[in-house]
Amino acid sequence: MRIWFSASVSALMLTIAGLSLAAMFASGQSAAYRAPRTPDGKPNLNGIWQALNTADWDLQGHTAAKGPMPALGAVFAIPPGLGVVEGDEIPYLPAAAAKKKENQANWMKLDPEVKCYLPGVPRATYLPYPFQIVQSPENILMAYEYAGGVRTINMGAPTKAPGDSWMGWSNGRWEGETLVVDVTSQNDQTWFDRAGNFHSDALHVVERYTPRSADTLMYEATIEDPKVFSRPWKISMPLYRHVEKNAKILEYKCVEFAEELLYGPLSKKPGN
Amino acid sequence: MRAKLLAVVTGVGLLLAAVPVWAHHAFAAEFDQSKPIKVRGLVVKWELTNPHSWIHIDVKGPDGKAVTWMIEGASPNNLYRLGLTKESLPAGSDITVEGYQAKDGSTRAVGRNITFADGKKFFLGLTEAESGPAKQ
Amino acid sequence: MSRRPLLSMAALLAVVIALLAAAPANGQTQSSAPKAPAAKAWTPPHTPDGKPNLQGIWTDNTLTPMERPKGLGAKEFYTDEEIAELTKRARTGSVGEEGDLGAARQQAVRYDLELYGFDPSKLRFSPNKRTSLIIGPEGVVPPMLPQARERNAERAAKEKGHEFDSYAHRPLSERCILMNQERIPMTPGANEGNLLQIVQGPGYVTLVHEIDHSTRVIPTDGRPHVPQSMRLWQGDSVGHWEGNTLVVDTTNFTNLTAYRGSSEKLHLIERFTRTADDMMTYQFTVEDPATWAKPWTAEVVWTKSKGPVYEWACHEGNTMISTILNGARVAEQEAAKKAK
């Protein structure tokens, strides 16, 4: 009788454990992690964060490939990556799909990252450089190391953008443990990655930042652009906290590294 | 011509002192005060970009062919604060622009005076008190 | 910014100044830089983590010149009447070295400022009625040391004749690398055109300039500077609180930053004290033993401005440098043709 009882209790406990595990895997995050709170009672996202993947090379799954400069050999070859797009498919409309191929074939000439242009959202999140979140009740500021990019997420009543910009216009709100950011009014000049994935000025991005442990966040972004894609699509990835002492985002004013490329042809020729 | 350029540079001076935001670059090095222009055409596009906005207008040359001029204006940040929006200068607007041409001879100019066909001045940034409500 | 009549604002300031003069610094440690007395008359609200709240969108537009007009000697403050008179003159463009009109001053060739949102009625002197931003009996930048003069003259001599050779010879502001309005120390202009937004989180104070979206994320945890071998355009800033004042210490500048001809030894100390709901005193001390014989200190009053701050991307839309360089190449070709 006792054996049967304990067996059924064990079975029940295993079932509960199994269901919890299933729930965890389904949501991709630790079950019900509750982040420490800021003094004003919100999940604390303050810190220096960075993505650890090759999304900036290519959002979709990709194998290792030769880099663009033979002289740099393996140092700047293209590393492999599993991709961050749910379903690994980016649903381009037919005309847009052709443009993507053209972009990819000419990426060194066309990718705005090469020129040190601001990356837009979500690319700013998964550039291979850190960014810092500074959280106040009224505003959540995200300062990106690359090109000194920055955006201030309005946490009050949503406001409207007067016009387009490189980093867009961000309105944020809390949904339980998750910071939800609605990003509109980005211009059409940025790309999603170095593989030529692009968008129009109708881009609408909804980001979700959910703490999954003391030193990780789960980042998801839903991308919608009826001029380019046939339906919304989603990327997701963890973001990792920089835990080293005195971690800091440093000045990365990359303009001077792009000048020879941009203005070299306008220099005085020797002998003139 | 080279001597003139050098004179301009010494006039502009080294950037040792703080210079107001308006003078973030040497006006005289980019535009030529000896090349005033006055062109009339239809607005093709109004680019609200920084550091300067640009009005693209198609100007009919004497041969009847349209030449696109780019007219430099204020930062959109200033324009937004004065109530202007991207609708304030719609495509197709018939405007006359007075300004100075770019030193490199391209069809680019800095706008000094912009008027609509009906004589109304298009203010790229006067306060409401001086120009009336932001209008087309 | 609310427009109060100058007289009642002056009256309010007179009260505040009297109280400031009477009260000793509150909880401030001794430091070598002369500083404005702490605003004991007004306690700022606090951020959720208990620090003085400096947040908001601020403007520092002022007609007050950096250096004191010659002839004023040690006079540090104007009277109400003097300020009213000077303001009237400045708004019609007829003011001398008492008012820095910036780009609004008469120039042979300049942008038509009317087209750029310039509103003369917004021109104002600093609410503290100082005769110059630089404080103290002299009110001017100390003379440059001979070694600094030589250093800068050498640099200018090397550049002479090459100013348009390439992008590398153009000013940092024309290249969109370092705009004048994003430089530190932060110095004002006549027109309200450069907004600063302050956002505070636990352990950090962030300053975001509208111009060039220049962002300084300043840690206030007492950490040391980055290694001396690291040189940055805007240096490396670390901060700490002294009572209600945020003190920011910046070193590690490059030798090309050259604020006012200074060297890589530039050391900047900035102090931010909110003195009213809509007012903040920004005081900075500049020292560089390779440039000036002694440090010098200036004080700027910031006031709240209506937001929001918009993106002001510079490099992405930079046509000025290509037009300027192209113009120089065209001029050379024309000169070469004429020579033939």
Q: Quick one: three-class SS letters along C269-333?
A: EEEEEEEECCEEEEEEEEECCCCECCCEEEEEEEEECCCCCCCECCHHHCCHHHHHHHHHHHHHH
Of the listed ranges A129-138, A174-183, C10-19, C134-143, the least confidently predicted one is: C10-19
Residue B96 is assigned to a structural domain of this protein: yes
Mean of pLDDT values over A29-33: 66
Q: What is the pLDDT of residues A107-155, one digit of tens each?
A: 999 999 999 999 999 999 999 999 999 999 999 999 999 999 999 999 9
Nearest to A136 among C55, C176, C311 (CB): C55
Query: Residue C302: beta bridge partners?
Result: C280
The enclosing domain of B57 has a CATH number of: 2.40.50.140
Q: Of B42, B8, B12, B38, which is closest to residue B109 (Cα–Cα)?
A: B38
What count of other Cβ atoms lies within 10 Å of the Cβ of residue B38? 11
Mean of pLDDT values over A181-185: 98
Q: Which residue has the tokens 């490059």?
A: C254
Residue B89 is assigned to a structural domain of this protein: yes
Q: Which residue has the tokens 């600094």?
A: C148
What does the alpha-carbon distance between residue C138 and residue C299 come to, in Å, rounded to a whole number? Answer: 14
Decide: C282 and C270 in contact? Cβ < 8 Å.
yes
Query: C323 CA to chain A: closest CA distance, Å?
Result: 9
Residue B3 is assigned to a structural domain of this protein: no
Chains in contact with chain A (at least 3 beta-carbon pairs closer than 8 A): B, C
Q: Which residue has the tokens 């990819």?
A: A104
User: Band of the pLDDT at A19, cuts 50, 70, 90?
Assistant: low
Mean of pLDDT values over C195-223: 96
Chains in contact with chain C (at least 3 beta-carbon pairs closer than 8 A): A, B
- Partner B, chain C 223-252, Cβ-Cβ below 8 Å: none
Q: What percent of chain A has pLDDT over 70?
A: 88
ipTM of the complex: 0.87
pLDDT at B1: 43
This prediction's pTM: 0.85
Cβ contact, residue pair C187, B123, below 8 Å: no
Mean of pLDDT values over C258-278: 97
Helix, strand or coil, per DSSP, at residue C137:
coil
pLDDT at C109: 52
What count of other Cβ atoms lies within 10 Å of the Cβ of residue C295? 17
How many structural domains is chain B composed of? 1
Contacts of C304 in chain A (CB under 8 A): none
How many structural domains is chain A composed of? 1
DSSP-assigned states of every residue in A7-36: HHHHHHHHHHHHHHHHHHHHHTS-TT--PP
pLDDT score of C31 more than 60: no
Give the CA angle between residues A103, A105, A111 to the nearest 5°.
Answer: 45
Question: Average per-residue pLDDT in chain C?
Answer: 87
Decide: C198 and C58 in contact? Cβ < 8 Å.
yes
Cβ contact, residue pair C316, A189, below 8 Å: yes
Decide: A225 and A202 in contact? Cβ < 8 Å.
yes
CB proximity B85 to A under 8 Å = yes
Q: In what order do the strands lie in the sheet with C236-242?
A: C215-219, C204-209, C196-201, C56-59, C296-304, C279-287, C267-276, C245-251, C236-242
Chain A nearest-CA residue for B51: A165
Question: Average per-residue pLDDT in chain A?
Answer: 92
Name the maximum alpha-carbon separation found in chain C. 77
pLDDT at A9: 66
pLDDT at A45: 98
Residue A206 is assigned to a structural domain of this protein: yes
CB proximity B80 to A under 8 Å = yes
Contacts of B23 in chain C (CB under 8 A): 102-103, 110
Give the structural domain span for B86. 34-130
pLDDT at C267: 98
Q: Of C204, B110, C155, B81, which is closest to residue A45 (Cα–Cα)?
A: C204
Of the listed ranges A52-66, A122-136, B96-110, C59-73, the least confidently predicted one is: B96-110
Output the CA–CA distances (angstroms, integers) from residue A203 to A121, A190, A220, C317, in the order listed. 10, 11, 16, 21
- Burial of C196-212, coded b for 16+ CB within 10 Å and e otherwise, reads bbbbbbbbbbbbbbbbb
Per CB distance under 8 Å, which residues of A are interface residues toward B?
162-164
Cβ contact, residue pair B1, C326, below 8 Å: no
All residue ranges of chain B with pLDDT < 70 are 1-27, 123-136
Residue A195 is assigned to a structural domain of this protein: yes
What does the alpha-carbon distance between residue A66 and residue A75 come to, in Å, rounded to a whole number? Answer: 10
Give the structural domain span for A190. 47-266
Contacts of B80 in chain A (CB under 8 A): 162-163
Helix, strand or coil, per DSSP, at residue A3:
helix
Q: Is the dihedral of CA B117, B118, B119, B122 positive or negative?
A: negative
